[in-house]
Amino acid sequence: MKGTLILQENPLVECKTNIGKTIWKANPAAFFFASERAGTTSKLSSAINTLSPMDRASFNRLFTPAGPGNAMVQMVDRFEYNAFHFFGSSHKRHLVLFRIACYINHSCIPNATVDIGQDISQYPRGQIRLVATQNIARDSEIFFNYIADDWKNTSVLRGNVLQEHWHFACLCTGCAPLQAPLDTIERQMAVAYSNNLPDPAVLPALPEIARHIDRMGTYIHLLGTLGIWDDKLSYACMLLAILHESKSD
pLDDT, residue 1, reads 85
pLDDT, residue 114, reads 95
Kindly give, in sequence order, each residue whose CB lies less than 8 Å from that of residue 183, ignoring residues fewer than 6 positions away: 108, 109, 155, 173, 174, 175, 226
Tell me: pLDDT of 71 over 80: yes
Last residue of a domain, one of 86, 115, 145: 145
Same domain for 134 and 154, yes or no, is no
Tell me: pLDDT of 248 over 80: no
pLDDT, residue 26, reads 58
Last residue of a domain, one of 145, 172, 189: 145
| Alpha-carbon gap, residue 147 to 121, rounded angstroms | 22
> For residue 77, what pLDDT band results from cuts at 50, 70 and 90?
very high
Same domain for 133 and 103, yes or no, is yes
> For residue 55, what pLDDT band results from cuts at 50, 70 and 90?
very high
For residue 168, report the phi and psi dihedrals to the nearest 5 degrees. -140, 155
pLDDT, residue 188, reads 97
- Number of domains the chain is built from: 2
Same domain for 167 and 239, yes or no, is yes
Q: What is the mean pLDDT of the chain?
A: 90
Same domain for 162 and 108, yes or no, is no
Last residue of a domain, one of 145, 175, 202: 145
Amino acid (one-letter) located at 205 = A
Tell me: pLDDT of 103 over 90: yes
- Domain range for 51 is 5-145
pTM equals 0.87
Same domain for 141 and 161, yes or no, is no
Amino acid (one-letter) located at 86 = F
Report the pLDDT averaged over residues 66-90. 86
The separation between CA 2 and the C-alpha centre of its own chain, rounded to angstroms, equals 18
pLDDT, residue 25, reads 61
What is the gyration radius of the CA atoms in the chain, in angstroms?
A: 21
pLDDT tens figures, 107-151: 999 999 999 988 766 778 899 999 999 999 999 999 999 999 999
